[in-house]
């Protein structure tokens, strides 16, 4: 697989005719990444003859993560698997509160970066923050919730290293309630209680209507 890159200028270090493809009126220069170092391997703008004229498949990134702190790497050996757990508390809170996000990386590696991702109201996944593991492989992140009310999803991820493959945690769900909704609910309950009290008082103070007594019949 080759990757095409859009540049502001034509590549200057290509040792042959610069090769590119055009998509949506934009030139994408071939950026082969194999073949040794930059002196002996392929350079941006160069393309192997057998790949020239090959069909192009465009993979758009609209629904992908906008940024990832991890690096893409390859290994000639099979990496050891790893796992990462995730806990959030509380799972239901009022807007403006705080959420504690914690978890455990296994194996218990110290000073490893763990990235916290968030998906809010069907928006794409974005980075919420980055934290590091302690000597026991545990991590914690405190989130001051200032986002809009709604349902959000949280997950944690680490990129792995030379010995261990990276891992993603299970996804946790948090429901954020609007502070305005809480105030409105409290006012509604207070008004309902006040209406009940007024009704009960009015029933107690309502004068009773006495039925007229039958006329007395005089004795002869």
Q: Find the CATH number of the domain harbouring 107.
A: 2.60.40.10
Separation of alpha carbons 36 and 30, rounded Å: 16
What residues contact residue 88 under an 8 Å CB cut-off, 6+ apart?
A: 99, 100, 101, 154, 172, 174
Q: What is the pLDDT of residue 47?
A: 79
* 18 is a domain residue: yes
Taking Cα atoms as reference points, which of 93, 96, 109 lies closest to residue 174? 93
Q: What is the pLDDT of residue 129?
A: 93
165: its two tokens: 């493959």
66: left (phi over 0), alpha (psi -120 to 50) or beta: alpha
* 208 is a domain residue: no
How would residue 217 be classed by pLDDT, with cut points 50, 70 and 90? low
Domain count, the chain: 2
DSSP annotation string for 106-148: ES--SS-EEEEEEEETTPPPEEEEEEE--TTSEEEEEEE--S-
Give the tens place of pLDDT for each residue, 118-156: 998 888 889 999 999 999 999 999 999 887 788 999 999
Is the per-residue pLDDT at 60 higher than 70?
A: no
Q: How many CA atoms lie within 13 A of 46 on its CB side?
A: 16
Q: Contact, 72 vs 141, CB < 8 A?
A: no
Confidence (pTM): 0.56
Separation of alpha carbons 46 and 15, rounded Å: 7
* 117 is a domain residue: yes
| 25 shares a domain with 103 | no
| 125 shares a domain with 39 | no
Containing domain of residue 144, as a range? 83-177
* 185 is a domain residue: no
Q: Which residue has the higher pLDDT, 114 or 49?
A: 114
């Amino acid at each position: 697989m080759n990757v095409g890159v859009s540049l502001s200028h034509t590549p200057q270090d290509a040792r042959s005719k610069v090769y590119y493809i055009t998509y949506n009126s934009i030139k994408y220069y071939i950026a082969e990444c194999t073949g040794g170092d930059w002196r002996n391997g392929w350079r941006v703008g160069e393309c192997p003859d057998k790949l020239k004229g090959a069909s192009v498949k465009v993979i758009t990134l609209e629904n992908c993560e906008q940024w990832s702190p991890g690096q893409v790497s390859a290994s000639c050996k099979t990496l050891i698997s790893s796992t990462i757990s995730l806990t959030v508390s509380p799972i239901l809170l009022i807007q403006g509160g705080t959420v504690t996000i914690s978890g455990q990386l296994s194996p218990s590696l110290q000073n490893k970066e763990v990235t916290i991702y968030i998906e809010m109201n069907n928006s794409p996944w974005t980075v919420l923050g980055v934290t590091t593991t302690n000597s026991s492989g545990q991590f914690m992140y405190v989130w001051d919730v200032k986002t809009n009310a709604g349902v959000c999803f949280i997950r944690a991820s680490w990129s792995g290293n030379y010995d261990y493959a990276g891992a993603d945690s299970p996804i946790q769900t948090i429901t954020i309630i609007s502070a305005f909704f809480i105030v409105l609910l409290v006012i509604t309950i207070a008004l309902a209680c006040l209406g009940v009290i007024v009704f009960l008082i009015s029933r107690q103070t309502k004068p009773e209507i006495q039925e007229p007594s039958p006329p007395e019949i005089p004795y002869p």
